[in-house]
Amino acid sequence: MSAFTALRSRANSCPQQQKVPAKKKSGTDSTFYPHDDTWKVTENPIAGWSHFRGFEKHVEPRVMKYNVYFLIYDYAVRGNLVVASLYWERNEPGESGDPIAERATELLTRQLRKFG
């Protein structure tokens, strides 16, 4: 099994929605907030590369203005080269993650074109 296939298989095995409880951060007095995660995997070629994307919406309790995180995990392969990229931004509740995904796509496309 190729590395890219293994990554894609692992991404597709993640639950589409989950509630994550609060958790104490080991070695510190800090605690991770409880949060809700939504996960979606899409697959489409970018700049001539085979590509899939994991799109995560991470919503924490309303204790700060920007409590919604959009994390975009991109994986692309051409030949024996696998490129991995993480792009994330915070946003206000109710705002769409589509503009963030577009910025991530633009950045990834520029990066992949540098490889040829």
| Structure confidence by residue, pLDDT tens digits, 39-92 | 999 999 999 999 999 999 999 988 878 899 999 999 999 999 999 999 999 998
At 19 the pLDDT is: 96
At 51 the pLDDT is: 97
Residue extents of the structural domains in the chain? 3-18+33-115
- The per-residue pLDDT of the chain, averaged, comes to 93
How far is it, in rounded angstroms, from Cα 75 to Cα 53?
Answer: 6
At 65 the pLDDT is: 81
At 37 the pLDDT is: 96
How much of the chain, in percent, has pLDDT values that exceed 70?
99
